[in-house]
Amino acid sequence: MSAPEDAPAGAGGQEGAGVVKIRCDACPVMCYIAPGQTGACDRYANEGGRIVRCDPVVLLSRTIEKGGAVVPFAARAWDGEMMPADAFVTGIGAGTTYPDYKPAPFIIASQVDGAEMVTVVTEAIFSYCGVKVKIDTDRHLGPEGAAVRAEGEVVGHVTTAEYGSQMLSLGGVHHLTGGSKYEGRATCAALLALCNGAAVTLEIEGGARVVVQAGAAPIVDGVPERRMRVGCGSATIGMFASQWAGLVDEVVVVDDHITGVVSEHQAGKVIGWPETGIRIKGHRSTPGRYFRVSEPGSGWGGTKIRDPLEILGPWNPKKGARPGLTLLMVSTTGEDHAYFVLDDDLVPRPAPLPEALVPTVRLIDENCEPALCTVLFMGGAGGSLRAGVTRNPVRLTQAVQRGEARLSSGGAPCYVWPGGGITFMVDVTRLPPGAFGHVPTPALVAPLEFSMSRADYVALGGHEGAIRTLPEMMAEGGEYTTAAAIRPWPDEDGR
């Protein structure tokens, strides 16, 4: 809703071949920009001998009339239309605080429900940043600690797997600036693409080739994933044991983590499931729960198993094994399943799945949530960012940790880690498209907003002289309000 904002005044000029270049001091690169050209970041340009911002500041609205959706306003000029009452100024397009001594680009005063508020808006340069990627899939992607590559360069590693998900940690200062320039460039490019919602191809050493995109299903070795597992083998039995009772004599749920056996499991015992004499090859944990029936892989339940009978030992007739005993073996997604009947030698023989059991397998599938990639940007807000808010930067850290200052990124809520500093995470799908930028340090540029009462802002040593009112900003060609700054985002009803 505003015209492009002027960038920091150029710190100097350079003349060559009759062309006057202007130095931009918006980041440590200090580009000399020729007339009509942009700097290395594509965010600042030389227009008529002045450094100007190429992108407008972005405002958000979440009015009921618009269905509660986050609506970006990014027009190059304000047309005079009245702004929505719940408009929220973001750091997207605001410009940076570099060099450190300058106040943040926008320090905005407003009144919300009679309270005097201040919102400090900036775009922060992060060379200490990365992304945490959660990939919902039962597929094994690679060994824990394995290097993750983008464009052939190591950009992160596989971290600990969580319930039904594989986790990656990408970026960080050592990959951005601690290695070769190619590693830094590849890391920055991958992080920027992921944060802005684009698809990135990652190769895991000793594992899979994965296409990751925030809000989309992963593509593993060329195959789109459809679902994550309903739970481990034990949890699956706990949920569905009663569905199988009376339809089959034994059920084994194959899983990389915990393989479950219904006749031994407590869920089976509670409903009176008889013994079957089954034997499982693996490390027995508690009754009906087995670890390490196989190494991780792309087979049944995230194991290397292609033939589920591999995990079975000889059946024990003294504990219920008999000819004609029926067995259902199924994975934790229902994707793989097989039915067997014991012959006269107590050897399982394949048989067609009875119609009565088909709904039980479908029920597992129905309870599996869609496979999805989640990307969380993680950064440490320090240096010039905090100095742009207050002359005593530690007080901003303390205000955020005490909850006196509310931190958001592009209007989206942030999780702030306890402990020292302002280390935060934000779900990139909660920000408008294109919210993140970069500088050739290499580093990412992310929008941040700090909202607090005016009294608290003054008390923490804020740049009181740089506070601007709404009329002042309107006179300068922009309109920025903070009415949404103290409200939950999104609303408690999920909008």
| CB contact at 8 A, 296 and 302 | yes
454 C-beta neighbours (distance < 10 Å), count? 17
What does the pLDDT read at residue 476?
64
Give domain limits for the chain: 12-53, 59-127+377-415+445-475, 233-366
Q: What is the pLDDT of residues 374-389, one digit of tens each?
A: 999 999 988 778 988 9
* CA distances (Å), origin 104, targets 114, 201, 318, 384: 25, 36, 78, 9
- Taking the CB of residue 297, how many other CB atoms lie within 10 A of it? 15
Q: What are the pLDDT digits (tens) for 442-477? A: 999 999 999 999 999 999 999 998 888 755 655 563
Scanning the structure block, which residue is given the tokens 């060559």? 16
What is the pLDDT, as a whole number, of residue 194?
A: 98
Instruction: Return the pLDDT at 63.
Output: 40
| In the predicted structure, residue 398 carries a pLDDT above the cut 90 | yes
C-alpha span between 486 and 86 (Å, rounded): 11
Residue 256 has pLDDT above 60, yes or no: yes
DSSP per-residue codes, 220-240: ETTEE--B--SS-HHHHHHHH
Residue with tokens 């700090």: 450
- What's the rounded mean pLDDT across residues 265-290? 94
Helices marked H in 132-230 — which ranges?
A: 173-177, 181-195
In 3-state terms, what secondary structure has residue 351? strand
Contact 229, 301 (CB under 8 A): yes
Between 58 and 207, the higher pLDDT residue? 207
pLDDT higher at 478 or 390: 390
Residue 494 binned pLDDT confidence (cut-offs 50, 70, 90) = very low
- Tens digits of residue pLDDT in 344-362: 999 999 999 999 999 999 9
Average pLDDT, the chain: 84
Q: What is the pLDDT of residues 158-184, one digit of tens each?
A: 999 888 789 999 999 999 998 899 999
Cα–Cα dist 340/350, whole Å: 4
Name beta bridge partners: 224. Answer: 219
Q: How confident is the model at residue 104 (pLDDT cuts 50, 70, 90)?
A: confident
